[in-house]
Amino acid sequence: MDGSLSNASALGNVRAGDSAVIGGLVGQGRNSILRNAVAAGTVTAGANAQAGGLVGNLAGGSLANAQAKGDVEAGSDSRAGGLVGWNSGQISNASASGKVTAGQGSVLGGLVGGNIGSVRFSSASGQIVPVDPSDIHGGLIGANLGQQSFNSVEGEAAKVPMIGRSYTF
């Protein structure tokens, strides 16, 4: 998706195979502006996926005032997040409450699987379930190479580290 999307919702379940970029509302948002969006269905993907409860890959652009309530399930070597699987954009005032499960070799987070953008004023509360406990996983963000501030975790998401692994350059 390129462009903007406001006041949108999706309630159904979505499913895709290996190497998918899949979200409960948007698969890939390229330099997109998404506002006031909610998705409530389960998102299921195969291996090597970028899977998010709302957006699979936020490739630039911004996402604000958004909620994802459904579970996210991905196969091995995936990037999975309760809201966004992979983020290189700006996320603010967002939340995710679904359970996030991913196969071996994956990076998973309650809100964002992998982040190289920014995440602010956001929260996660869902359970994080890595198949292999040594996989990178966090209550808010799995792997953080970007910026994050003024965020919180609660409930099941607070039972694991808020950030699975942080990288600085």
pLDDT mean across residues, the chain: 97
Each residue's pLDDT tens digit, 98-155: 999 999 999 999 999 999 999 999 999 999 999 998 999 999 999 999 999 999 999 9
Residue bearing the bigger pLDDT, 132 or 95: 95
pTM over 0.95? The answer is: yes
Dist. CA 76–CA 12, nearest whole Å: 24
Tell me: pLDDT of 97 over 90. Answer: yes
Identify the CA nearest to 126 among candidates 114, 137, 115: 137
SS3 state at 126: coil
pLDDT at 169 over 70: no
Tens of pLDDT along 52-72?
A: 999 999 999 999 999 999 999
* Beta-strand runs (E) in 54-106: 55-68, 72-74, 79-81, 84-87, 90-96, 100-102
| Distance from C-alpha of 84 to C-alpha of 23, rounded to nearest angstrom | 7
- Residue 26: the pLDDT is 97
Question: Is 80 exceeded by the pLDDT of residue 45?
Answer: yes
- Determine the pLDDT at residue 101: 98
Is pLDDT of 2 > 90? no
Give yes or no for residue 17 having a pLDDT over 80.
Answer: yes
Residue 168 has pLDDT above 80, yes or no: no
Q: Provide the pLDDT for residue 1.
A: 74
Q: Computed from CA positions of residues 86, 109, 65, 24, in that sequence, does the dihedral angle turn out positive or negative?
A: positive
